[in-house]
A and B are shown apart, each in its own frame.
Chain A
Amino acid sequence: MFQVRIHGRGGQGVVTAAEMLSLAAFSEGHHSQAFPSFGSERTGAPVVAYCRIDDKEIRIREPITEPDALLIQDPTLLHQVDLFSGLRPQGYVLINTSHSFHELGLDDLYRDHRKDRLVTLPATEIAREHVGRPMPNAALLGGFAALSGQITLEAVATGIHGKFSPKIAAGNIAAATAAYGYVRQQMEELASA
């Protein structure tokens, strides 16, 4: 089972991101379960959503405490919430920011963790360009597909189509595609460095 935890703030589409990820995984024949951390759905409040992916029925109903991947939609949460709690040693981390891990004050994480599992992505800027709104969720899913290989970019597009009207989906798919390319490039640079 592969477990993803998504952190952000109310209004950033955190719950929708988990739902789109589950739709993407389903479209590739996987079992998947997405659910929010219920309660604090106020605009701006910290929100967590979860997505499990497996090849057999998912029966467990508890929140994800040991994620295989963390998607962080809002870097202002970094020093407010214990975002990295339970992160698996080989886990993936994708942060929506135009800053580096050093600039974010995450030197410890960067030093101790596998470098090919850590990526920053300016998802909000990419969303502004392609969606016209600072809604980073679709771009982060594109980046997640590139970083983890758990799902394809095509599946991400299917997931986006499942949640949005065709017109809005098109912009989000463009954002996811751009983010996918951005993360791939980051990883290639890292591999050749």
Chain B
Amino acid sequence: MLSQIEGSKAVADAIALCRPEVICAYPISPQTHIVEGLSALVKSGKLAGCEYVNVESEFAAMSVAIGASAAGARAYTATASQGLLYMVEAVYNASGLGLPIVMTVANRAIGSPINIWNDHTDTMSQRDCGWIQLYAETNQEAADLHIQAFKLAEELSLPVMVCMDGFILTHAYERVDMPTQEQVDAYLPAFEPRQVLDPAAPISIGAMVGPEAFTEVRFLAHHKQMQALDEIPGIATEFQEIFGRDSGGLVRPYRTEDAETVIVALGSVLGTIKDVVDERREAGEKIGVLGITSFRPFPMLAIRGVLRHAQRVIILEKALAIGLGGIVSDNVRNALSGITLKGNTVIAGLGGRAITKVSLHKLFDEARADRLERLVFLDMDYDLVQREIERTKQKRRSGSAAENILRDVGVVAARPA
């Protein structure tokens, strides 16, 4: 049924339709509305057969999810930003143990300096933790990806992280076609665990593994995640058969067939980029955009297949690998090994800076004129940065960069956007 609904509410309702048995979470902006919605559904009895566990931290949230999943329950949690970092040790354990937990990450920047706004630094920090990572472009896709995530997780016995842009998606009201319980039941069978802690048939999981077999266990984790490259398209096809919607998959190319320039991005910014691509197509430019839905496993061949005929690839990413540049770029370049084309990394939207059509047009104009540097920070105030660099040169005790920059910028609360 079509609903005008907040992204967080759509995700909470979609999770409830998946009949989770244990939900454990610790609230953190911008994930809060999702877990509030789920706790209300459990308390009202609308989500029956589910225990909602209030925990004292994110570390506890993931630990409870691990215990619940190992005991054979369909387990779900959600977090963001510092919360994800706080649970990291348990995040690695969940994947190492092969437990099919589904977790939403409402993407948000990482401090310091503390910042509650959206970027992808949190989930990008966990790209190698063994979880599958799916990125949603819209709230419709966020809802759909969660339903697909449980199926994928349980099929492979691997945890899945569904990443959705904090605030931009979680707090946006837009149209979502909410699935019915019958559809979800037809799509997602009851959880049949591959391993289960059962007092009637006692086993242990979580053994210590020494040098004699650690590499082999790690290889198997990689081997299993790579199987998702085959599973994800099939799961999306099956989804389309039941729900009538094209959602999920590995990558989503848009107007790339004859494109000389292809933009690569993840998440909600794809919408703004598509609008810009349409406007530039109108003006005759051969430009397209490639959205990466599955960042882990990384769909090397699918990306290579789309980009190999382009002349320029611009990778726009909402995270910065300090000391290197772009994380997505580094991965995409790997996929393009042996293919020569022009490439630019654009770091954009850090800490909630708006990525606007005006800025994207300017950026693509620069690219077209071949004036774009290899690493670009979209809309960065170079003068502001330069003044701080000067201050650090002039004075030994120059103070904290964040505080100095804020003093320089002046009051920002009064700005409209």
Give a binary string over A155-167; 1 marks a CB under 8 Å from any B CB, 0 the rest. Answer: 0000000100000
CA distance A38 to B172 in the complex (A): 11
Minimum Cβ distance to chain A for residue B133 (Å): 20
Let me know if A26 and B175 touch, CB within 8 A.
Answer: yes
Which single residue of chain A is at the shortest CB-CB distance from B269?
A: A61
Residues of A within 8 A of B298 (CB): none
What is the number of residues of chain B that contact chain A, defined by CB distance less than 8 Å? 31
Query: Does the CB pair A19–B6 fall under 8 Å?
Result: yes
Contact in complex: B171, A38 (CB < 8 Å): yes
- Tell me, in angstroms, the Cα distance from A32 to B330 when the chains sit together: 37
Contacts of A85 in B (CB 8 A): 416-417
Residue with the greatest number of chain B CB neighbours at <10 A, chosen from A36, A45, A60, A83: A60
A23-B4, A23-B173, A65-B356 known; A35 vs B416 contact (CB < 8 Å): no
Q: Is the CB of B415 within 8 A of A32?
A: no
Residues on A with beta carbons closer than 8 Å to the beta carbon of B270: 59
User: B residues within 8 A CB of A31?
Assistant: 174-175
Complexed CA–CA distance, A49 and B339 (Å): 45
Contact B171 A36 (CB under 8 A): yes
Q: Evaluate contact between A35 and B175: CB separation under 8 angstroms.
A: no
- Once A60-B357, A62-B355, A65-B417 are accepted as A-B contacts, the answer to whether A33 and B167 lie under 8 Å apart by CB is no
Query: Are A59 and B271 in contact, CB atoms less than 8 angstroms apart?
Result: yes
Q: Is the CB–CB distance between B416 and A81 below 8 Å?
A: yes
Instruction: State whether B413 touches A33 (Cβ < 8 A).
Output: no
The distance in angstroms between the C-alpha atoms of A22 and B175, with both chains bound, is: 9
Contacts of B272 in A (CB 8 A): 59-62
Residues of A within 8 A of B171 (CB): 35-36, 38
- In chain B, positions 193-233 with a C-beta closer than 8 Å to chain A are none
Interface string of B338-363 (1 = CB under 8 A from A): 00000000000000101111000000
Contact A82 B415 (CB under 8 A): yes
Given the complex of chains A and B, what is the CA–CA distance between A27 and B414 in angstroms?
Answer: 34
Residues of B within 8 A of A34 (CB): 172-174
Q: B135 on the interface (CB 8 Å rule)?
A: no
A59 contact from B118, B275, B356, B416, Cβ within 8 A: B275
A22 to B9, CA, bound (A): 15
A80 contacts the other chain (CB 8 A): yes
Q: Which of B160-202 contact A (CB under 8 A)?
A: 165, 167-168, 171-175
When the two chains form their complex, are residues A62 and B354 in contact, meaning their CB atoms are under 8 A apart?
yes
Determine the main DSSP class of B at the interface with A: loop
Is B24 an interface position by the 8 A CB rule?
Answer: no
A22 to B176 CA separation, bound complex (whole angstroms): 13
- B225 to chain A minimum Cβ distance, whole angstroms, is 30
A83/B416 in contact, CB under 8 A: yes
Residue from the list B4, B116, B416, B417 in contact with A162, Cβ < 8 A: B4
Query: A33 touching B172 by the CB < 8 A rule?
Result: yes
What is the bound-complex CA distance between A48 and B414, given in angstroms? 11
Among B167, B175, B354: residue with most chain A CB under 10 A = B175
Q: Assuming A32-B174, A46-B413, is B274 touching A59 (CB within 8 A)?
A: yes
Which of chain B's residues has its CB closest to A85's CB?
B416
B237 in contact (CB, < 8 A): no
Is the beta-carbon distance between A32 and B416 smaller than 8 angstroms? no
**Interface: B93 (CB within 8 A):** no
Q: Note all chain A residues with C-beta closer than 8 A to B4.
A: 22-23, 26-27, 32, 162
Point out the residue from A7, A23, A36, A162 that lies within 8 Å of B167, measured CB to CB. Answer: A36
Specify the chain A residue showing the minimal Cβ separation from B268. Answer: A61
Residues 13-35 of A, flagged 1 when their CB comes within 8 A of B and 0 if not, give 00000110011001100011111
A 45-62 binary contact with B (CB < 8 Å = 1; else 0): 110100000000111111
Tell yes or no: A64 within 8 A of B by CB: yes
Judged by a CB distance under 8 angstroms, whether B30 is at the interface is: yes
Please tell me if A76 contacts chain B, counting CB pairs below 8 Å. no
- When C-beta atoms are compared, the residue in chain A nearest to B360 turns out to be A62
A32-B173, A35-B168, A39-B116 known; A48-B6 Cβ under 8 A: no
Residues of chain A within 8 A of B175, CB atoms compared: 26, 31-32, 57
| B76 CB within 8 Å of chain A | no
B30 to chain A, nearest CB (A): 7
Q: How far is the CA of A124 from the CA of B354 in the complex (A)?
A: 32
Chain B residues with CB under 8 Å of A64's CB are 417
Q: Does A40 contact B413, Cβ atoms closer than 8 Å?
A: yes
- What is the bound-complex CA distance between A57 and B275, given in angstroms? 11
Which of A22, A32, A62, A80 gathers most chain B CB within 10 Å? Answer: A62
Report whether B416 and A48 are in contact in the complex, using a CB–CB cutoff of 8 Å.
yes
- For B168, B171, B415, B416, the residue with the greatest tally of chain A CB atoms inside 10 Å of its CB is B416
Nearest CB of chain B from residue A174's CB, rounded to whole Å = 23
Could you tell me the distance in whole angstroms from the C-beta of B229 to the nearest C-beta in chain A?
Answer: 27
Q: What are 20 A-B pairs at a CB distance below 8 A?
A: A19-B173, A22-B4, A23-B173, A27-B4, A32-B4, A35-B167, A35-B172, A39-B117, A45-B413, A46-B414, A59-B271, A59-B272, A60-B275, A61-B271, A61-B272, A62-B357, A63-B354, A64-B417, A82-B416, A85-B417
Interface residues of A (CB under 8 A from B): 5, 7, 18-19, 22-23, 26-27, 31-40, 45-46, 48, 57-65, 80-83, 85-86, 162
Contacts A38-B30, A81-B414, A162-B4 known; 18 new A-B pairs at CB < 8 A: A22-B4, A22-B173, A22-B174, A26-B175, A27-B4, A31-B175, A34-B172, A34-B173, A35-B168, A39-B352, A57-B175, A60-B271, A60-B357, A62-B354, A62-B355, A65-B356, A81-B416, A82-B414
User: Nearest 4 A-B pairs (CB), nearest first?
Assistant: A59-B271, A26-B4, A63-B417, A34-B173
